[in-house]
Chains A and B, each alone.
Chain A
Amino acid sequence: MTTLRDPADVAFRGIARGGGIIVLAIMSLVGAFLGFRAWQALSVAGFSFLTEEAWEPDSGKFGIAAVLVGTVLIALVAVIIAVPLALGTALYITEYAPIKIRQFLIGLVDLMAAIPSVVYGLWGFFFLQGNITPISRWISSTFGWIPIFAVDGADPQDPLASVTVYTSSTFIAGIVVAFMISPIITSIMREVFAQAPLGEREGALALGSTRWGMIRSVVLPFGRGGMIGGTMLGLGRALGETIAVYMIISPVFVIQPHILQNGANSVSSLIALRYGEATEFGTSALMAAGLTLFAMTLVINFGASAVVARSRSGESS
């Protein structure tokens, strides 16, 4: 059975399909071009691209081991700080806040998500750098026996020791990125919590549970998918963040596991740092680094949407 269509409908469908094809072409072009150019560099570097720490593409000695570890460390610090904050804020908005200010807070969180990252970078560079060092020093002198909190060149016995060993660290960049991604995570969690079925909520309260009991037995299990999905989206955003990290860190090209210590790096700030002086081959090496980062965020994003879609509260985002 064939459908007879009005010419206007045929035209509409054609134009809509054309738009879809153009967008698909643009997106594929980006992917294909990145892959093609990255291939030039990857075929030269081979497997050492993943293990080499230095970045000297023109002498053939380049790899993303250091910057990738740095990226992951910054993103992990950010997520570890941001998730509890976002969870608390989302619960506050849906469960505790007075009804009168709820809409206002929702709008505020959305607005915070749109604040340009360069503004967070300014705050991190001019305010946090100077004010966070006492905390860094306290953590490192108290928990220095744990390897990641150790700081080389710091002297816990000497109160007048130089504070510069604590600045421009993974920790500071992580805090700035944490506050940058917390609005996004908050708004996704809030969406999901707000959809928790009213009947189950009232059921829990009717059986005599406290408010926390109700949240623990109804809201959190219902919103688990959204919580994981929001966290993963935040992680993806944190991995790709460029300008705020670039303003704060002082780049090092070795694997630097001490998060409180001066010196860190990330893939995106590597690109921002080196694109201008890069030769043609150097550009394709940067593309390879960018493609690796893109592959990581892609996997995380699809993981997030799969988790959200499989959960009870799916189909919401």
Chain B
Amino acid sequence: MTDTLQLTVPAPGTVLRDDAAIDAARPVREERRLNGVRISDVLSAAGAVIASLALTSVLVTNVLPINGPIPFAAIAYIIFMALYALLVSLDEDRPVVIDRVILVGVHTLAITVFVTLGFVVIFSLVQGAQALPFLNFYTEDMSLAGPLDPLSEGGVLHAIAGTLIQITIALVITIPLGLTTALFLNEVPSSFSRFVRTIVEAMTALPSIVAGLFIYASFILLFGLEKSGFAASLAISVMMLPIMIRSADVVLRLVPTTLKEASIGLGAGQWQTVWRVILPSSRSGLVTSIILATARGIGETSPVLLTSGFTASLNLDPLHGPMVSLPLAIFQFVKSPEPTMIARGFGTAAVLMLIVLALFVVARIIGGQTIDVRNRRTEARRIFWAAVAVPFLAVGRWMTPYATRVKAWAAPYLAAAGAWVARGARAAASRTAPVRARVAASRTAPVRARVALFARRAWASIVLYARAFGPSTVAISRRVLSEANARLPARLTRTPKEDQE
């Protein structure tokens, strides 16, 4: 370190690094782009798609007769993979070919998963769409509607109410127990607490139907409790407790030790540390763990099937008489062969999924609330109110002579509000300053370069297609491809092989 450190803060909008100048000064070298797409990649993929469709059509019509879209798709996919690997291998070496094939495979698998899971959800929503527009679907129960009645009769109010009552009772049981236990596992470490953690982990493996069977055999058969909402809540609680404890345990473990040490070092006791440091700093995570356990508990069918009994009418008393929840109602509806009942079942499924989705959105909002985000939200609110206040301020200035008495009375309040609004206005100004500066700085140069590149690529592909419609063999296509590539800047077409030479 010979030179002294000098920190200079550049003015907003100055260009810190002139890439163009640096590039010009450097000898031209291939930069290694990991996720760039080159024209040869796109063309070989497109060619492989076309060729595989053509080949498969020939195969299934003339060689081995197979009907049905699914075998066709499977064969086409296999042929596509083979052809794509072949095309890439024409101008790349082996590792790159494997890399490309894997890339296509990974994309295929991911798309399969997301499309199928999306389809599961959309399928239920579409099938239930018949039932959802009817208002009575949410405000009536099924006590007066038979299986042959149209959708304008009856609804699932009893199931919605049942789900809400059962999950509320389950939460009243599990939240205090779960959070205390999670605190115990983290704050009172001992061999005993490790033993409790092991047992809780073991109980996460309890199949939900076995939890239901336990409540059914103990509370209902042995202690003579009725099949009721309360029994169902107990079964759901047995399911939810281990899930909640485990996730809350992980959340509490993430609280930085330095925070705890700082609190103890300032002379706080353990309880004060827990109450003033640990719980506030892990609040959003704990709420998220509660909500995730709730989402799981709300959707459980099998424990409820054994413990709550079944009814078609609204029952708000959790201790007496059967009480239906949404998943159980779905299960009962779709047992019927009647199309209207099946539509009701799918509609109920849509309602259930919307509730789960709403819980998730709440969890994301709470879980994603870091201090930074919260401050930004407050600032956004300030800016909004500042914008709202501007016309009022103007009116106020105009009304000044008439309002002196009012002003005298309201002065402190107005002053405080005015300061708050001013801060908002300042925040707005400082937030937009860099944006304004950036807009002012010329950004057309890179755009021009990209337009030119696009034009060159388009021209290259036009030339390629024009040649390809001549006598088409692999050799000619390759020559054409190399010609097209020759028109591109050298930087875009170098292969790793040439790099090594």
Contacts and interface: CB of A to CB of B under 8 A. Distances in A.
Interface of A: 5-6, 8-9, 11-13, 15-20, 22-24, 26-28, 30, 33-34, 37, 84-89, 91-93, 95-97, 105, 107-108, 110-112, 114-123, 125-127, 134-135, 138, 179, 182-183, 186, 205, 209-213, 215, 236, 239-240, 242-243, 246-247, 268, 271-272, 275, 280, 283-284, 286-287, 290-291, 293-294, 297-298, 300-302, 305, 317
Nearest to B302: A242
Given A28-B199, A93-B110, A119-B353, A272 B124 contact: no
A115 B188 contact: no
A24 B199 CA distance: 7
Contacts of A84: 109
Nearest to A19: B180
Interface of B: 32, 34, 66, 68, 70-71, 95-96, 98-99, 102-103, 105-110, 112-114, 116-117, 119-121, 123-124, 127, 176-178, 180-181, 183-185, 187-188, 192-193, 195-196, 199-211, 213-214, 216-218, 221, 238, 241-242, 245, 250, 269-272, 274, 292, 295-296, 298-302, 305-306, 327, 330-331, 334, 342, 345-346, 349, 352-353, 356-357, 360, 364
A294 B210 contact: yes
Contacts of B178: 23
A116 B207 contact: no
Contact of B203 (A27, A115, A179, A283): A27
Given A27-B200, A212-B102, 13 more contacts: A16-B183, A16-B188, A17-B188, A20-B193, A85-B112, A91-B106, A119-B121, A179-B113, A179-B116, A182-B113, A284-B217, A294-B210, A297-B207
A88 B205 contact: no
Residues of A contacting B: mostly: helix
Contacts of A135: 70-71
Contacts of A123: 119-120, 123-124
A96 B106 CA distance: 8
A114 B299 contact: yes
B272 A8 contact: yes
A44 B44 CA distance: 69
Contacts of B330: 118-119, 122
State the main secondary structure of chain B at its contact with A.
helix
A57 B268 CA distance: 62
Given A23-B177, A88-B105, A117 B113 contact: no
B200 A23 contact: yes
A70 B346 CA distance: 28
Contact of A294 (B70, B117, B205): B205
Given A11-B271, A16-B183, A16-B188, A37 B299 contact: no
B326 to A, nearest CB: 8
A301 B200 contact: no
B210 A118 contact: no
Nearest to A123: B120
A127 B123 contact: yes
A115 B120 contact: yes
Contacts of A117: 299, 301
20 contacts: A8-B269, A17-B192, A28-B199, A89-B113, A92-B106, A114-B295, A118-B327, A122-B330, A123-B124, A134-B70, A205-B32, A211-B34, A211-B103, A240-B209, A242-B302, A243-B331, A275-B306, A290-B210, A300-B205, A302-B205
Given A8-B272, A85-B113, A213-B95, A301 B216 contact: no
A92 B124 contact: no
A182 B109 CA distance: 11
Given A23-B241, A34-B210, A93-B110, A138 B71 contact: yes
A9 B188 contact: no
Contacts of B187: 12-13, 16
B217 A287 contact: yes
Nearest to B201: A305
A26 B116 CA distance: 39
Nearest to B221: A283
Given A33-B217, A118-B301, A242 B208 contact: yes
